[in-house]
């Protein structure tokens, strides 16, 4: 659920409200213009003639008339994720949403639905994807921000323009929390509500009731005493928000979103001088763990939802780096690079535009496609410590030292930079 909480400043050490007024936008779910994502009213799946978007630029086309006038009159762009049963999970976007924002949102949805071999609940996610199509899942990408000014009312999970970051774009590189990256949260709500399934009232049938039982148990553990989530749930506005979630049966959705956001590094760069707790907590200070390592020690029950259960440990979609980005894009974690708290979990990227752009690889097996500028890939060892092979304009660079730079497939790249030398391809 998304709400805007206008509160007095929360003094998180004492969990009490202090007297000086401060407006803080705590974006935690959804509730202004599309159907509230935490109160699920069973609806007939949207009957849509399958639309072939493969030939359209980036897989984006106009909104099909078969989706209905509510969508064709309010949205101009359409894409979808096809499901094994022949259905579709629909994504519609208003006119201010960029194509790159649309592609990224589709990528995140595909990431959540990508099979995770060897995992307990995610080895075959067909049932989840099929259930989403059967339940009529629609992701609505809306102009502006969740301040009540966009009054479109349609069935769907809303996500707003001003909270969709694109890798390499300034909101992303600066980790601008005024435009915080809410796409992972809101698209997770779509998958959770329409696919995995929620136990209890106001819900749709789900495909993974056993996993939801585990999620519910972790949420019950987290909010028992409000020491894990939501921190401060017995104080002021936080308590009111928690009571609202309870009435809506959306506690498990919001808890899981807080957990996953920290798991993928989305809060690693957050800090707020008015909230001392921001140094260690995630999701606006409401979740006890800020980083993946903190989840292990501070929310071990939540960690149990992650260990080979459903969610990949790294990002599986190919991230398209904004065409305006220049310099070095870091996939390697660097405490001095804010966005690397998140980019460290990227595996595959495509550079856009014409700027000369470098990429510093991480320990994963990266696939990197260059742009029309000059691109250099940066490694962390001497040239002699790597195996380099080029075949048909595709270069494979394998680090012979374990857990450092992995095996990398490089396309349209001009140079390789090692610690002792740089070579031309």
Q: Give residue 57's pLDDT.
A: 81
- Give percent above pLDDT 90 in the chain: 84
Indicate the residue among 258, 281, 303 that finishes a domain: 303
Q: Are residues 229 and 334 both part of a single domain?
A: no
Mean pLDDT of 271-287: 92
Residue 374 has pLDDT above 60, yes or no: yes
Indicate the residue among 303, 338, 360 that finishes a domain: 303
| Residues 147, 161: Cα–Cα separation, whole Å | 12
In a domain, 323, yes or no: yes
The pLDDT-based confidence of 170 (bands split at 50, 70, 90) is: very high
Mean pLDDT of 316-326: 98
Q: Are residues 93 and 166 both part of a single domain?
A: yes
Number of independent structural domains in the chain: 2
Query: Which of 225, 243, 266 lies closest to 15 in space, CA to CA?
Result: 225
A 10 A CB-CB count for 272 gives 16
Mean pLDDT of 107-127: 98
The 3-state DSSP class for residue 10 equals strand
Residue 75 has pLDDT above 80, yes or no: yes
| Residues 205, 42: Cα–Cα separation, whole Å | 9
Q: Are residues 199 and 288 both part of a single domain?
A: yes
- Please give the mean pLDDT across all residues of the chain: 89
- 329, 169 in Cβ contact below 8 A? no
Q: Give residue 78's pLDDT.
A: 97
Residue 129 has pLDDT above 50, yes or no: yes
The pLDDT-based confidence of 55 (bands split at 50, 70, 90) is: low
Q: Give residue 275's pLDDT.
A: 86
Q: Give residue 313's pLDDT.
A: 98
Q: Are residues 59 and 178 both part of a single domain?
A: yes
Q: Give residue 416's pLDDT.
A: 98
Q: Give residue 307's pLDDT.
A: 93
In a domain, 1, yes or no: no
The pLDDT-based confidence of 274 (bands split at 50, 70, 90) is: confident
| Residues 167, 92: Cα–Cα separation, whole Å | 21
Crossing angle of helices 251-263/183-191, nearest 10°? 130
In a domain, 2, yes or no: no
Mean pLDDT of 266-293: 94
In a domain, 231, yes or no: yes
In a domain, 3, yes or no: no
In a domain, 310, yes or no: no
Indicate the residue among 274, 303, 332 that finishes a domain: 303
Q: Are residues 299 and 324 both part of a single domain?
A: no
Q: Are residues 162 and 245 both part of a single domain?
A: yes
Strand partners, 315: 346
Residue 5 has pLDDT above 80, yes or no: no
- 97, 77 in Cβ contact below 8 A? yes
Residue 12 has pLDDT above 90, yes or no: no
Q: Give residue 53's pLDDT.
A: 58
Residue 43 has pLDDT above 80, yes or no: no
Q: Are residues 285 and 321 both part of a single domain?
A: no
Q: Are residues 322 and 286 both part of a single domain?
A: no
330-175-340 Cα angle (round to 5)? 25
| Residues 352, 324: Cα–Cα separation, whole Å | 8
In a domain, 309, yes or no: no
Q: Give how far Cα 229 sits from Cα of 4, 218, 289, Å.
A: 18, 10, 9
Mean pLDDT of 268-280: 91
Domain of 49?
8-303
Q: Are residues 147 and 108 both part of a single domain?
A: yes
Q: Are residues 222 and 91 both part of a single domain?
A: yes
Q: Are residues 294 and 322 both part of a single domain?
A: no
Residue 299 has pLDDT above 80, yes or no: yes
Please state whether the peptide bond connecting residue 230 to the residue before it is cis, i.e. omega within 30 degrees of 0.
Answer: yes
Q: Give residue 234's pLDDT.
A: 87
Q: Give residue 50's pLDDT.
A: 57
Q: Give residue 236's pLDDT.
A: 79
Q: Are residues 222 and 342 both part of a single domain?
A: no
Cβ-count burial of 236 within 10 angstroms (0-12 exposed, 13-18 middle, 19+ buried)?
middle
In a domain, 418, yes or no: yes
């Amino acid at each position: 659920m998304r709400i805007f909480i206008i509160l007095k400043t929360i003094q998180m050490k004492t969990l009490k409200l202090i007297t000086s007024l401060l407006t803080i936008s705590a974006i935690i779910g959804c509730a202004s213009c599309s159907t509230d994502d935490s109160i699920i009213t069973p609806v007939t799946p949207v009957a849509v003639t399958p639309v072939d978007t493969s030939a359209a630029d980036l897989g984006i086309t106009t909104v099909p008339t078969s989706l209905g006038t509510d969508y064709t009159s309010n949205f101009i762009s359409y894409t979808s994720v096809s499901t094994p049963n022949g259905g579709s999970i629909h994504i519609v976007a208003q006119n201010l949403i960029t194509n790159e924002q649309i592609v990224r949102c589709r990528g995140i949805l595909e990431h959540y639905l990508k099979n995770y071999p060897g995992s307990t609940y995610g080895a075959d996610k067909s049932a989840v994807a099929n259930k989403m199509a059967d339940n009529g899942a629609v992701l609505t990408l809306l102009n502006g921000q969740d301040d009540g000014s966009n009054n479109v009312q349609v069935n769907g999970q809303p996500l707003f323009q001003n909270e969709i970051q694109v890798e390499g774009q300034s909101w992303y590189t600066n980790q601008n929390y005024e435009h915080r990256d809410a796409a992972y949260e809101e698209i997770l709500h779509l998958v959770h509500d329409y696919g995995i399934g929620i136990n209890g009232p106001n819900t749709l049938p789900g495909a993974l009731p056993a996993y939801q039982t585990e999620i519910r148990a972790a949420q019950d553990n987290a909010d028992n005493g409000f020491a894990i989530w939501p921190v401060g749930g017995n104080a002021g506005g936080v308590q009111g928000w928690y009571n609202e979630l309870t009435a809506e049966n959306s506690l498990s959705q919001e808890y899981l979103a807080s957990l996953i956001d920290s798991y993928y590094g989305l809060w690693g760069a957050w800090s707020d001088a008015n909230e001392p707790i921001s140094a260690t907590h995630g999701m606006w200070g409401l979740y006890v763990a800020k980083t993946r390592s903190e989840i292990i020690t501070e929310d071990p029950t939540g960690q149990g939802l992650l260990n080979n259960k459903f969610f990949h440990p790294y990002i599986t979609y190919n991230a398209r780096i904004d065409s305006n980005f220049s310099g070095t894009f870091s996939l390697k974690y660097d405490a001095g690079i804010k966005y690397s708290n998140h980019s460290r979990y990227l595996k595959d990227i495509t550079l856009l535009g014409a700027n000369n752009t470098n990429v510093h690889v991480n320990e994963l097996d990266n696939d990197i496609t260059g742009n029309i500028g000059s691109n250099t890939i940066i490694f962390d060892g001497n040239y002699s410590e790597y195996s380099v092979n080029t075949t048909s304009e595709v270069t494979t660079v394998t680090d012979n030292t374990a857990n450092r730079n992995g095996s990398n497939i490089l396309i349209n790249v001009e140079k390789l930079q090692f610690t002792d030398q740089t070579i031309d391809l």
